[in-house]
A and B are shown apart, each in its own frame.
Chain A
Amino acid sequence: MIDLIQTLGSGILVGLVYALLGLCIVIIFKASEAFNFAIGEFLILGSFLFYVLFFNETLPWHRALPLGVLIFLFFSYVFFFDIRARFVIAIPSGLVAGFLIFCVLFFGLNLSSLVSSSLLRFIIALPMGLLAAGFVGSMVERITIKPLLGRSPISMTIITLGLGFFLRGCIQLIWGSHAYPFFLDLPDITMEMGDFLFLSDPIWAGILSLLTFGLVIVFLFRSRWGLAIRATSEDQAKAMAFGINSRFILLIVWAISALCIAVAGIMISNFGALQVGMGYVGLRAIPVVLIGGMDSIGGALIGGIIVGVCESLAGTYIEPMGLIGFKDVAPYILLLIVLFIRPYGLFGTVRIERV
């Protein structure tokens, strides 16, 4: 019994992180009907952006400068074409943003010299890192997804496949392929009672994932922007007819998605180390969303927990029986069973198409 509770608890904690990954897929799918296969690369990228700020990791000038220039160009473009700012405002704004990014990357933020407490440093660096991740998400959307608006969602999905390879290459070029140590040193909240043991890092991962999940739900259901996003998800054409800027909504959705993936990435990196090869973790979101339902936010939460628990149970009870590697396969077997019974997932909307 103790074993079972321990296994279920561990599974739920990891499952909450998976749920967050699932949420990122779901919100993009709801807004554009595209599946983001570049989720793994967003996960690594978001973690690296946080890493730069939290661990004061600097880059050599030949890597920091092109990134600064890229930010300058992007900012200027968005200010000029999307926000419709005047040229004399757009260019200086882009320059300031590009210069700031270059300074952060080249000189470092050096938070540790300002704040000694690792928790406080985390509290400062996390929103900054997430903002950076969200910003990159929106940048990617603007460059790769926006030109495809109005085309088949399949085109967008395929673009995300290519995008994944491109992002991976960029990350390798900037940060290399080796592992980076990742120690957040958050307050120890390990729970140990007799034979029960829940480590601090997975508990923090569970708490932060749940918190992020909650914040996204509040944003979607309790804010004007959220309402606009939901309206766009329902029917893009109608939403535009009502004066909602669907193109900008899509940008926000990608930004939120990238931001949430970054939280999951940071938590997973904290279990071990940060490395470009970790991108495979993003694929855990596939069984999560297919089990929960591609367009169900609540389904992502339940799907994540189911996948986490399923992996944990398989690892504790089935693998020791000699079925080595079953832990990785178990969520997919479960997925097959669910799809046989409910082809749209447990909470997915059943679509009836008249032909």
Chain B
Amino acid sequence: MKQRAVFVLAFTLSLILLFILPLSAKEIKTLSQFPMSGPVGSLPEFGWGFIDGMNWVNNEGGGVNGKKIKWFLEDFRYNPTVEVANFSKYTAEHPPDELLMATGYITGGLKPLIEKVNKEQKIPWLDGSYSTEIFGAGGGPSKYPYYYSLGATYGDQIKVLLKWIKENHKGKGKPRVAFVYSPTAWGRDGTPEGIAYAKKLGFDVVAEIEYPYTATSATNECMQLRKAKAQYVIYHGYSGATSYTAIFFKTARKIIPKAQLMGTHYTTGRFPILVAQEAFDGYVGVATRPFSDPVPRAKYPKDNAMVKMAHEFAQKNRPEEYKKGLKGGIKDMFLYMEGLTYALMLQKALTDADNAGDLSREGVKKALDNMVWDFKGMFGGKTFSYKSHTIPMLQIFKAKVKMVKMGDKMVPTGGVYPISDWINTDEIQW
């Protein structure tokens, strides 16, 4: 009888333990959202890079000092409403001491989340938006203490381009600069700051043109630039992967062939080489990441540790997609690398917080604020500090595109190649 009672007791206890232990064990949870579909096109690469990165973090990467991260990934379809709704859902479902970090990707989503992230939830939020309004002088850590950007602000990007013009202008008289930007929160962000800085440098701002995503022709815009005798055209607020960018570059090359076309981060990359081809040759732009994907892909810069890591990850985890490229595979390695960098940043911040003995939202925030990191060699060995809540690193690139005959087809080859060292915008005296 006694033996049976002991057995029943042990059985009951083990059952209780089975159900209660997992409930009492705190998990480390994160929420990440990327625009993997919607008006920017189909971009599953963000997710692929992130998934491969998180799997590596949790397995070979050692997690957060041996503890695994339970990560959630959502596609917000480039829709701020969806991004906000997802965030609300996850914060309602998961307790604040478990859901420690969240990430997003667009300026349009940051604005409606200001109150919720910074005052209600107080959760560290990493974002792909480089909004000047949020992360620039008018915003920043004092106003939005829980927002962190993974790149220098658009305002700083444009100002770096303007500095480049100042240093490289060879013609007589003041440089004649024109701004072409998209009628979106993104396009309008940073442009006023850029215009003010151009005037401060003594440039003639000869045109400010809003060129919409719905354009079927850029003739009017380019004729205005021609009439204004623009020498430098700063094209901002556009994805390089879309038809409107191809329309603009193809038209501009014919109507204003002598003007220097320039642009910000999301235009500086592989896609315009593929869609605008020779019209993209000579373009000068800034980017917050190293260029990772020339055409052909095999010629990627192996001297950058992060780029090399991203290519090796993709080749190992997604060999088919890596090979397929545009045909249903990884169209641009930047997108894959971007997902991967988010995974690495989550691990770094959480590990730093854990090492400091405070694995909570506040602890993660402190870890981010005190972070000094080389981001696995992404910036050529240079380190950055997260004090300004942006990763203030930029590099200037120039596009070189050449058409070569491959079989029966003429195909574009080339890339955007650095023409400057990595620039830390926090260290520049504007």
Q: Which residues on A are within 8 Å of B, measured CB to CB?
A: 3, 6-7, 10, 14, 17, 55-56, 60, 110, 112-113, 172, 176-183, 190, 197, 199-202, 268-269, 271-278, 280-281, 284, 312, 315-316, 319-320, 324-325, 327-328
Contacts and interface: CB of A to CB of B under 8 A. Distances in A.
Interface stretch (B151-159, B250-258, B338-346): B250-258
Contact of A325 (B183, B216, B227, B246): B183
7 A-B pairs with the lowest CB-CB distances in the bound complex, closest first:
A272-B247, A273-B246, A315-B220, A177-B42, A272-B246, A177-B41, A112-B408
A328 B244 CA distance: 15
A202 B42 contact: no
Contacts of A316: 220, 223-224
Q: How many of chain B's residues touch chain A, expressed as a range?
A: 35 or more
A199 B245 CA distance: 18
A112 B245 CA distance: 27
B247 A271 contact: yes
A199 B241 contact: no
Interface class of chain A by DSSP = helix
Nearest to A275: B243
Contacts of A324: 183, 210
B243 A274 contact: yes
Contacts of B250: 201, 271-272
Contacts of A177: 37, 41-42
A284 B216 contact: yes
Contact of A199 (B227, B251, B327, B409): B251
Interface in B213-255: 214, 216-221, 223-224, 226-227, 241-248, 250-251, 254-255
B327 A183 contact: no
Nearest to B271: A179
Given A14-B217, A177-B41, A179-B241, A197 B223 contact: yes
Contact of A277 (B242, B271, B277, B331): B242
Nearest to B240: A179
A180 B274 CA distance: 8
23 contacts: A14-B216, A14-B217, A55-B409, A177-B41, A178-B41, A178-B271, A180-B275, A181-B246, A183-B277, A197-B223, A199-B219, A199-B255, A200-B254, A271-B216, A273-B243, A275-B242, A277-B41, A281-B214, A316-B220, A316-B224, A325-B183, A325-B212, A327-B212
B208 to A, nearest CB: 9
A278 B42 contact: no
A315 B223 CA distance: 11
B39 interface: yes
B408 A110 contact: yes
A7 B220 CA distance: 7
B244 A272 contact: yes
Interface of B: 37, 39, 41-42, 183, 209-210, 212, 214, 216-221, 223-224, 226-227, 241-248, 250-251, 254-255, 271, 274-277, 326-328, 331, 408-409, 412
Nearest to A55: B409
Contacts of B243: 179, 269, 272-275, 277-278
Given A181-B277, A324-B210, A277 B39 contact: yes
A253 B1 CA distance: 90
A65 to B, nearest CB: 15
Contacts of B219: 10, 14, 199, 202
Nearest to A269: B243
Given A3-B227, A190-B254, A202-B217, 5 more contacts: A6-B223, A55-B409, A112-B408, A278-B243, A284-B216
A284 B212 CA distance: 15
A106 to B, nearest CB: 13
A117 B90 CA distance: 58
Contacts of A312: 220
Contacts of B223: 6, 10, 197, 316
Contacts of A269: 243
A187 B305 CA distance: 46
Nearest to B226: A197
Contacts of A180: 275
Nearest to B249: A272
B328 A60 contact: yes
A149 B113 CA distance: 51
Contacts of B214: 280-281, 328
B267 to A, nearest CB: 13
B207 to A, nearest CB: 8
Contacts of A60: 327-328
